[in-house]
Amino acid sequence: MRWFLNKIFGWSSVSRLMKVGKIMLFAISLLYVTVVVYQNVFGYKMLDTINNVPSIESNNQQQRLLKHHMLNITGDIYSAYHVERTSVTATPKPTTINLSDIFITVKTTKMYHDTRLALLIKTWFQLAKEQTFFFTDADDIFYQRKTNGHLVNTNCSMGHFRKALCCKMSVEYDTFLESGKKWFCHFDDDNYVNVHKLLDLLKDYSPTVDWYLGKPSIASPLEIFIDNVESKSMHKKISFVFATGGAGFCISRALALKMMPIAGNGKFINIGDKIGLPDDVTMGYIIEYLLNVPLTIIDTFHSHLEPMEFLRKDTFKDQVSFSYGQIKNDKNILNIDGLDNISDPTRFYSLHCHLFPHLSSCSKS
């Protein structure tokens, strides 16, 4: 071959050609080795970026549209939305989660210690004693002892008004951040929390992904007017969905950390003041509007804004939260046998023993 090329091109040009060839071969090998080593060390980042970004964005947009559309139709489609949402979300495989990874906060007030708080302590609190904390507005040695020191005096004002409620939520959120736990779940003191079901629910979501789980109480997104930053004289109409606090909601640690610069260290209260709306609405505003993280609707959360009697007994075990209250002149309570209405007006004792009949406090004697 070399002889043949010599004949055609002459000796010196062939030798130069061979040299160039060798150099090129060396350069190609070097490039190949570099690429292989880089991919092994740093992974296929470029490929990931190209594949992930557009799909995440289009999912968010899709989910938002879908959710708003569904909320406009009727409440019963909440579960359909849930299925749709989980099926389109590229969630990393969730890590295993234990009860000890959840930080459960319950908002209460001095006036309800002997009634609502006492009832919770005798029922579901017994199943989540380590992870549940009650946020109140006064010191109370008796209930401090009953809860093993889990009563937090927020020093917020007493009363069912916006500022006091936002103040408590702010302390609940900041205390969660300090706790280092993976999930923040808030409830009111007229909620029964089915702790096992709550844990089951959270197993489907990763705490390292932004999750806002709960249930709205209104059928369409809330529309409010806020100051328009661009033109000071104008108000801007915005809309967002919020999880009603009276049904309970959960926030993943990833999302709670993302909220920190705007809502951490008491700043939650300032945002509530700015929009002039209650704590749960403020939470929705921060998450859905400011951070653009959509609410994932969980239809197994229930507030007393829904009629409790429509919940079927054979599905009680599948629900995460329950409540009781009044709808017009009628009592809004679960339709459940067990104790009579005089000894168990909220139906929570009966529910507790329906869910956990083996408990010694539920024995028939």
**In the bound complex, what is the minimum distance in angstroms from residue 333's beta carbon to Mn ion?**
13
Q: Is 189 among the residues that bind ligand UDP (CB under 6 A)?
A: yes
Element (DSSP H or E) covering residue 222 = strand 222-227
**In the bound complex, what is the minimum distance in angstroms from residue 316's beta carbon to ligand UDP?**
21
In this structure, what token pair is assigned to residue 94?
A: 């969730």
CA distance 268 to 313: 39
CA 138 to chain centroid, in Å, comes to 28
CA distance 117 to 123: 10
CA distance 266 to 330: 39
Q: Is 159 among the residues that bind ligand UDP (CB under 6 A)?
A: yes
Output 97 or 165, the one with its CB closest to ligand UDP: 165
**In the bound complex, what is the minimum distance in angstroms from residue 190's beta carbon to Mn ion?**
4
Subset of residues 103 to 122 that bind ligand UDP, contact rule: CB under 6 A? 107-109, 112
Output 246 or 284, the one with its CB closest to Mn ion: 246
In degrees, to the nearest 5, what angle opens at C-alpha 191 toward C-alphas 145 and 129? 35
Output 182 or 347, the one with its CB closest to ligand UDP: 347
Q: Is 160 among the residues that bind ligand UDP (CB under 6 A)?
A: yes
Residues involved in catalysis: 280
**In the bound complex, what is the minimum distance in angstroms from residue 188's beta carbon to Mn ion?**
5
Most distant pair of Cα atoms in the chain: their distance? 114
Element (DSSP H or E) covering residue 9 = helix 2-9
Q: What are phi and psi of 325, to 5 degrees?
A: 175, -145
CA distance 264 to 260: 4
Q: Is 158 among the residues that bind ligand UDP (CB under 6 A)?
A: yes
CA gyration radius, the chain: 29
**In the bound complex, what is the minimum distance in angstroms from residue 326's beta carbon to ligand UDP?**
9
Output 165 or 201, the one with its CB closest to ligand UDP: 165
Q: Is 190 among the residues that bind ligand UDP (CB under 6 A)?
A: yes
The residues that touch Mn ion, with contacts defined as CB under 5 A, are 190, 246
Output 90 or 158, the one with its CB closest to ligand UDP: 158
Residues near ligand UDP (CB under 6 A) are 107-109, 112, 158-160, 164-165, 168, 188-190, 246
